[in-house]
A and B are shown apart, each in its own frame.
Chain A
Amino acid sequence: MMDMIETKRLRPDDLPEQEFLLPGNRSCAGCSMSLYYRMALKALGKKTIITVPASCLTVLHGLYHKTSVKMNVVHTTFETTAASASGIVAALEAKGLGDEITVCGFAGDGGTSDIGIQGLSGAAERNTNFIYACYDNEMYSNTGTQRSGQTPYMAYTTTTPHGKLEHKKNMPMIMHAHGIPYIATSCSSYPQDVYAKFKKAKLFTGTRYIHTLIPCPPGWGFPTDQSIEMGRLAVKSGIFPLFEIIDGKMFLSPESERCLDPSKRLKVEEYLKLQGRFKHIQPEHIEYYQEYVDNHWNFINQFL
């Protein structure tokens, strides 16, 4: 089953033409979320019900009575993405439509790893038949860029004016601990990979989790034309590894394979120095940061 989608060889013109995210929406200029969402919805296809909590994605969906999204969506409260999805799934199953319609919850990193983690953990423990998609802009962007559990070490946010002292919460591995059938990480800067991973997730039954890094120009402090570059640097430096965990086994995605060799990892400084949120960072922080990323790769290596 794993081989049915060849992520490497997907080209833009392999993607279906049908658009579910229409041009012109309320996200900021240069927002990676739009690109990511467009790919994800293409992969999910028409027979899908989405549920979305309070987040930048709510804003992207538009203001009543107009929307930029041509798909069924259930807006839900901030912490209830997974519970909302559980309700949709149960109703569909009660109607005998459980296998016919895909249910997907899309939530930000705050909605996922902070306030929504209890509901997500519960839904995953019940192996609820849905895809949970976390888009990670590493902060609470919707409310004005406050710290989240996914904000990285030393990043400035409005509630960490001297930089955050803790590291990112490792959500994919938390989900791995739930024993769910499919987990993937992806990044909006590799749109075909995003598409392919959603496509692959659809092949599984039970809870599937996809965690996607989406660089956020205003929140991270970089020019709006550098969103793609920023995501690529996060991957190439090994800060954000791309992988899949299929039935408990981890596979590095091609984009991250080179990071197995420490000498081929871009230095984290190359990534940090381009972003306003790390402006205040000191050489000793950078050194520590590099060490942390290197250690993280030792951790990942244990699973390969």
Chain B
Amino acid sequence: MELKHESNSQATRGRHVEILTGNHAASHAARMARVDVVSAYPITPQSPVVEKISEFIASGEMSARMIRVESEQSAMASCISASITGARVFTATSANGLAYMNEQLAWAAGTRLPLVMCVVTRALAAPWSVWTDHQDAISQRDTGWMQVFCEDNQEIYDTVLEAYKVAENDNIFLPIMVCFDGYILSHTTMPVELLSQNEVDTFLPSFNSHLKLHEKIDEPVGVNPVTLPDPREGFPGYMEFRYRLQKTIEKAIDVFEDIERDFASLSGRNHGGVVRGYKMEDADIAIVGMGSASSQAKKAIPHLREQGIKAGVLTIRLFRPFPKARIREALKNVKQVVVFDRDVAYGLEGAISAELKSALYNRKHQPHVQGFIVGLGGRDFKTEHVIHGTKMAMEYAEKNEVPDETKWLGVDK
């Protein structure tokens, strides 16, 4: 069912609302971003993203070249080389597909390519599970990609457009994953307002790569040759290249926020930049999560407040680069932080929980932080879990306890 609702006002002419799944919201964004090349391989729950794009191409609504590759490894490898040849590129994957790309992900970031990839998050087998958690995306956090997590379908559409703008920014040139929860968003319909093509074209002009090989026939270049550890004759060594990558990704927080502001003034929608607070103004306790974990946490707030617990939610939208300073700022008045991770950094604890602590360490204000592992492999993460976890965390804080072992809500006996 596609419900279309055209907007009439002058400024927003051509905008319309469609009832879309999260997957199709992503496909529409890729179409309107006028990508040149799409290369992807099917995997649940991502497949409908690319199926829709195939329909757009078949019907002439989109003019991209589509490479129907034989694997995710080839999907990412071909995206990389297409981007090196000056194309704006799109791909999408999930779980095993993302893991299969691992080597290529590091290669893409090292090559400083502004690729945009939707990651429809799903548990990383074994055993097999097609349902959501964040393990797939989190497992790729050290490849040099930026990673954003979305909470609704409008945000998916908007974030894909913002993602191109951030990735292609002259001062950035880094790839970015737009992550959203499998099924919870990917297969659930919601109204999504699509901007007019004109608005998108203004916000996102055509891609002007620094690496147009086809224009370098007379002065050829070699991309990614063997590079020595040390600089030579004024040219960087391997470590200088990696240094630049890190320094750039650190800058991406400001760039992301600037672009978010531009996007907000264009669209009238503001997703909060890199972190987003909900009822945080007067909160003593911050509940921290990403994607579906954060949406669920919000539902628990009225119940907690009814019981006199002044809790708010801090949603981490940008996970890489990890917005340490913004997080500290958002937590400056809280005594207690409760983190719900839909992932595990095995052998340590939930990834967000660990990273949050490192952001707070060595600082004056150090609220008590307690993390919980929840919702793996599509296990329902419920309001009652949020309430129970928050109360447990409060007890630990009261006793000034910081248990070393991880706490798994609904699993721990």
Interface residue ranges, A against B (CB under 8 Å):
46-47, 49, 51, 58-59, 61-65, 67, 69-77, 79-80, 82-88, 90-95, 97, 101, 118-119, 121-123, 125-126
Contacts and interface: CB of A to CB of B under 8 A. Distances in A.
Interface residues of B, number: 46
A77 B107 contact: yes
B221 A91 contact: no
B67 interface: yes
A229 B113 CA distance: 46
A91 B71 contact: no
A95 B214 contact: yes
Given A59-B226, A83-B69, A119-B71, 4 more contacts: A47-B217, A77-B107, A94-B82, A126-B68
B70 A92 contact: no
A77 B70 contact: no
Contacts of A85: 81
B87 A94 contact: yes
A118 B104 CA distance: 16
- Interface centre among B220, B222, B226, B233, by most chain A C-beta atoms within 10 angstroms, is B222
B223 interface: yes
Nearest to A73: B222
B33 interface: no
B74 A122 contact: yes
Interface in B67-83: 67-71, 73-75, 77-83
A73 B227 contact: no
Contacts of B223: 73-75
Contacts of B36: 90-91, 94-95
A97 to B, nearest CB: 5
Nearest to B209: A91
A83 B225 contact: no
Contact of A122 (B69, B224, B227): B69
Interface string B55-93: 000000001110111110111011111111111010000
Contacts of A91: 36-37, 65, 81-87, 214
Contact of A76 (B65, B80, B216, B228): B80
Nearest to A70: B220
A298 B103 CA distance: 43
A123 B80 CA distance: 16
A97 B214 contact: yes
Interface of B: 36-37, 39, 63-65, 67-71, 73-75, 77-87, 89, 103-104, 107, 213-214, 216-218, 220-228, 232-233, 235
A40 to B, nearest CB: 16
Contact of A80 (B37, B64, B73, B216): B73
A81 B188 CA distance: 38
Given A58-B226, A75-B224, A80-B104, A93 B65 contact: yes
A58 B223 CA distance: 11
A-B CB proximity, top 9 nearest:
A122-B70, A87-B81, A87-B78, A83-B74, A91-B85, A80-B77, A87-B82, A91-B87, A83-B77
Nearest to A101: B214
A80 B105 CA distance: 13
B217 A51 contact: no
27 contacts: A61-B225, A63-B225, A67-B222, A69-B222, A70-B220, A72-B213, A72-B216, A72-B220, A73-B223, A75-B223, A76-B224, A80-B77, A83-B73, A83-B77, A84-B77, A86-B69, A87-B39, A87-B67, A87-B78, A87-B87, A88-B81, A90-B78, A91-B81, A91-B87, A94-B63, A101-B217, A126-B68
